[in-house]
Amino acid sequence: MPFRGQGGSGGGGSGTVTSVAVAADAGTGGAITTAGTITLNGAGSVSTSVSGTTVTITGSGSMLLNTVTVDVFSSPYTVASGVDVVFVDANSGNITINLPSTATDGRRIYIVDQGASGVTGYNTTVSGNGNQINGNTTFTINSSYQALSVVGDGSNYYIF
């Protein structure tokens, strides 16, 4: 039984699968009338389970985080689109980090990490930029090796 991505005939490569066609004949889309097996091979660990007519595909992989380092000379810094982690160098002065002005849905996470800086008594202030962070307009990182992780729900940010 052929198994192919919608609109393509090859395998391999990379990208996001948005549609999969399963055909019982040579790819013409005829009805499946007998039992069969679909085997998925991929990087990492891929497993499948079947319950009635529902097939669940589970896999693991890796994730690449986009980072930026901010110091007193680039403060205030507004987190740019695509940035996930902000490393802060607060050894020379206080720094302000502005989260994006719209708290996006729960699929967006931001991390601000003061790391070894801050030992000189300088702080990093994280602003919700018009949104609340756990009910407050700002959150202050005031010691070394302290970090803030937040997730947005579309209206506000929440610390986790």
Residue labelled with tokens 């990182």: 141
Residue 79's CB is within 10 A of a number of other CB atoms, namely 20
30 half-sphere exposure, CB direction, 13 A CA radius: 9
Coil, strand or helix at 111: strand
What is the DSSP secondary structure assignment for residue 136, as one 8-state letter?
B
Do residues 88 and 120 lie in contact, with contact meaning Cβ atoms separated by under 8 Å? no
Per-residue confidence (pLDDT) for residue 117, from 0 to 100: 66
The Cα–Cα gap between 149 and 28 comes to 49
Among the residue ranges 40-49, 59-68, 118-127, the one predicted with the least confidence is 40-49
Residue 42 has pLDDT above 80, yes or no: no
Q: Quick one: average pLDDT of 38-54?
A: 62
Give the residue with greater pLDDT, 30 vs 148. Answer: 148
Helices in the chain by DSSP H: which ranges?
Answer: none
pLDDT at 119: 65
**pTM for this prediction:** 0.61
Give pLDDT tens digits for 85-126. Answer: 999 988 888 999 999 987 665 567 889 998 876 667 889 999
Report how far apart, in Å, the C-alpha atoms of 120 and of each of 83, 104, 132 are: 27, 34, 28
- Return the top range by mean pLDDT from 27-41, 44-58, 70-84: 70-84
Residue 139: predicted pLDDT? 96
d(CA 90, CA 80): 19
Overall average pLDDT of the 8-13 stretch: 44
Q: By three-state DSSP, how is residue 72 classified?
A: helix
